[in-house]
C-alpha cells in the first residue's frame, strides 16, 4: 500500500509519520489520513478530465465517504467540486468556505426545509429523485425568486458486479427514475415544463467498489442514447451527464484496482465514439468518486487490550474500538489488512479474531487474521479505512467517536477532535 513504510524502530510509518507517536499524541482509536495521497487522488481525477476530455467536466468528491471541514478545504484548494447528501454535509462544506455552486446535492427524500436550504445556499446542481420533488422544488423556487440548476437521477438498469447492498443502478432501487419503465422521459417532460427549474442534465450511479471499466462505459452509452431520445422527443439537448462514482479500491490483496484516471480515459473514448455516431455534441461530464479519493488514504489505529484464548477453537484479540468506528465488517462482511504497528519486525504467528469493544457478539473487525504474537498495549493498524468509516461512525454504547488527524509529509494536525463524554450527553435533557 502506498504511503506505508517501516522505520529503524520497527514501527509502522504512515504518510511519513511514526504511527506509535501519533497514538501517543492523539490517543486511540485514531483515524489517520494521508493528506498528500488525498490531494494526489483529487488531482488525478481532475487531470484525467483535462487530459482525456478537454477539461469539459467537473470532479465532485462524494463527501459521504468522509466529511469534515478539512476535506472540503482540501477539495476547494485542489479545484474540484463536491457531492453532498444532507443538510449536515452542505452546512459543513459552507462552514469550511466551500462554494455551494460547485456542489451536486443528492437525496431520495428531500424535505421542504432541506429544499429551501439548498435554494438559499445557492447549490449549483440539485439532483432530483422523484416527481413530487420537482413539483415542490419548482413551487418553492418560484416563491423564493430562484431558478436552480437540476439534474435528474436515472436508473440506467446496469448491474455492476459488487455487493448487493451497495448496488443502486438497477430498476429495483429506491433511487431515481428508470429509463426502461418510461419514468425517466416522464420526469424530463415534467422538469422541462417547470418555469422555475433549469434542467441541466441527467445523473446515475451504478454502485460502489467496482473494478471493471466496462459497466461505466456501458452506462455512459445508455445515458447518451437517452439524451439523444430526449433531443428527438423534446427538441432539447441537455448539456450535462453525471456518471456518479463507484471506482474500486484495495482493501486486501483480493482487490485489484486500476489507476483511477483509467476510468475517464475509457469513458471519454466511449463518449466520443457514441456522440459521433449520434451526431451529438459531447456533454459536460461530472464524476463523483468518494471511496477512491479517501479510502486507501486512511488507516485506523487501535490499542490491543484483553486477549481470550479458547483452546482448539479461537483466540480473540480485543481492541479499544470496533463497530462504532468501523461498521463495514458487520454491514457488508468487509475484509481488511491488519498490521502490528509497533512490532513490524515480528513474523506472523497465528490466526486470531480481532474483536471490538461493543456489547454485541458480532462486533468483530476481522476473522482469521494472521498476526504476530501480541499482547495488551500493542498497537494494531487497520488499512484502507479512509472512506465510510469516520462518516459511518456511531455512538452505540455511548462510545465517543475517535479523533481524525491529517498527516502531510510526516507532520500531523488534528482535523476532528475526539468526542468527549460531555459531547455525548450535550443534547440530553
Ligand X SMILES: Cc1ncc(COP(=O)(O)O)c(C=O)c1O
User: Where does this chain bind ligand X (CB under 6 A)?
Assistant: 62, 65, 83, 106, 205, 208, 244-247, 288-292
Q: In the complex with ligand X, which residue's Cβ is closer, 83 or 320?
A: 83
Q: How many C-beta atoms surround the C-beta of residue 139 within 10 A? A: 14
Q: In the complex with ligand X, which residue's Cβ is closer, 59 or 340?
A: 59
Q: In the complex with ligand X, which residue's Cβ is closer, 62 or 379?
A: 62
Q: What's the min distance (Å) between Cβ of 83 and ligand X? A: 5
Q: In the complex with ligand X, which residue's Cβ is closer, 209 or 282?
A: 209
Q: What are 64's three cell numbers?
A: 459521504
> Bridge-partner residues for 350, per DSSP?
371
Name the residue among 271, 177, 187 with its Cα closest to residue 233. 187
Q: What's the min distance (Å) between Cβ of 165 and ligand X? A: 11
Q: In the complex with ligand X, which residue's Cβ is closer, 143 or 165?
A: 165
Cβ atoms of 131 and 107 closer than 8 Å: no
Query: Using CA atoms, how far apart are residues 329 and 161, in angstroms rounded to an integer?
Result: 19
Q: What's the min distance (Å) between Cβ of 288 and ligand X? A: 4
Cβ within 8 Å of residue 126, ≥6 positions away:
105, 115, 118, 137, 148, 149, 150, 151
User: How many alpha carbons fall within 13 Å on the CB side of residue 195?
Assistant: 4
Q: What's the min distance (Å) between Cβ of 209 and ligand X? A: 6
**What's the Cα-to-Cα distance from 107 to each of 58, 129, 214, 240, rounded to whole Å?**
20, 7, 26, 19
**What's the Cα-to-Cα distance from 103 to each of 37, 138, 149, 358, 371, rounded to whole Å?**
22, 19, 11, 36, 43
- Would you call 204 a catalytic residue per the annotation? no
The catalytically annotated residue of 68, 155, 275, 359 is 359
Diameter of the chain measured on Cα atoms: 73
Q: What's the min distance (Å) between Cβ of 116 and ligand X? A: 22
Known catalytic residues are 359
Amino acid at each position: 500500500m502506498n504511503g506505508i513504510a517501516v522505520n529503524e524502530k520497527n514501527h509502522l510509518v504512515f504518510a511519513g509519520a511514526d504511527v506509535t507517536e501519533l497514538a501517543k499524541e492523539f490517543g486511540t482509536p485514531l483515524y489517520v489520513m494521508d493528506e498528500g495521497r488525498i490531494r494526489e487522488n483529487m488531482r488525478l481525477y481532475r487531470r484525467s478530465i483535462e487530459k482525456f476530455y478537454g477539461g469539459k467536466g467537473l470532479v465532485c468528491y462524494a463527501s459521504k465517504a468522509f466529511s469534515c471541514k478539512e476535506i472540503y478545504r482540501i477539495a476547494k484548494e485542489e479545484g474540484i467540486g463536491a457531492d453532498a447528501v444532507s443538510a449536515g454535509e452542505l452546512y459543513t462544506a459552507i462552514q469550511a468556505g466551500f462554494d455551494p455552486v460547485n456542489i451536486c446535492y443528492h437525496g431520495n427524500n428531500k424535505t421542504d426545509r432541506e429544499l429551501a436550504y439548498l435554494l438559499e445556499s445557492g447549490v449549483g446542481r440539485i439532483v432530483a429523485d422523484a416527481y413530487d420533488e420537482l413539483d415542490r422544488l419548482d413551487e418553492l423556487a418560484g416563491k423564493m425568486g430562484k431558478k436552480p440548476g437540476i439534474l435528474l437521477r436515472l436508473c440506467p438498469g446496469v448491474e455492476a458486479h459488487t455487493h448487493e447492498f451497495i448496488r443502486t443502478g438497477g430498476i429495483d432501487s429506491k433511487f431515481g427514475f428508470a429509463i426502461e419503465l418510461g419514468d425517466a422521459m416522464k420526469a424530463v417532460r415534467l422538469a422541462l415544463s417547470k418555469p422555475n427549474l433549469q434542467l441541466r442534465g441527467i445523473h446515475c450511479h451504478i454502485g460502489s467498489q467496482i473494478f471493471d471499466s466496462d459497466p461505466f462505459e456501458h452506462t455512459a452509452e445508455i445515458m447518451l442514447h437517452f439524451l439523444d431520445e430526449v433531443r428527438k422527443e423534446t427538441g432539447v439537448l441537455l448539456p450535462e451527464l453525471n456518471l456518479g462514482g463507484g471506482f474500486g479500491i484495495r482493501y486486501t490483496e483480493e482487490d485489484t484496482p486500476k489507476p483511477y484516471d483509467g476510468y475517464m480515459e475509457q469513458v471519454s473514448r466511449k463518449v466520443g465514439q457514441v456522440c459521433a455516431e449520434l451526431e451529438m455534441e459531447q456533454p459536460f461530464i461530472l464524476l463523483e468518486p468518494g471511496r477512491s479519493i479517501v479510502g486507501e488514504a486512511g488507516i485506523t489505529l487501535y490499542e490491543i487490550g484483553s486477549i481470550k484464548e479458547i483452546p482448539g477453537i479461537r483466540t480473540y484479540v480485543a481492541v479499544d474500538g470496533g463497530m462504532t468506528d468501523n461498521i463495514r465488517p458487520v454491514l457488508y462482511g468487509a475484509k481488511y489488512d491488519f498490521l502490528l504497528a509497533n512490532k513490524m519486525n515480528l513474523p506472523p504467528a497465528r490466526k486470531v479474531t480481532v474483536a471490538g469493544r461493543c456489547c454485541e457478539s458480532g462486533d468483530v473487525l476481522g476473522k482469521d487474521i494472521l498476526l504476530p504474537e501480541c499482547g495488551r498495549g500493542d498497537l494494531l493498524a487497520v488499512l484502507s479505512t479512509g472512506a465510510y468509516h469516520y462518516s459511518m461512525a456511531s455512538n452505540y454504547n455511548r462510545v465517543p467517536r475517535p479523533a481524525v488527524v491529517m498527516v502531510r509529509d510526516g507532520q500531523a494536525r488534528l482535523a476532528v477532535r475526539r468526542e468527549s463524554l460531555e459531547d455525548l450527553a450535550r443534547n440530553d435533557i
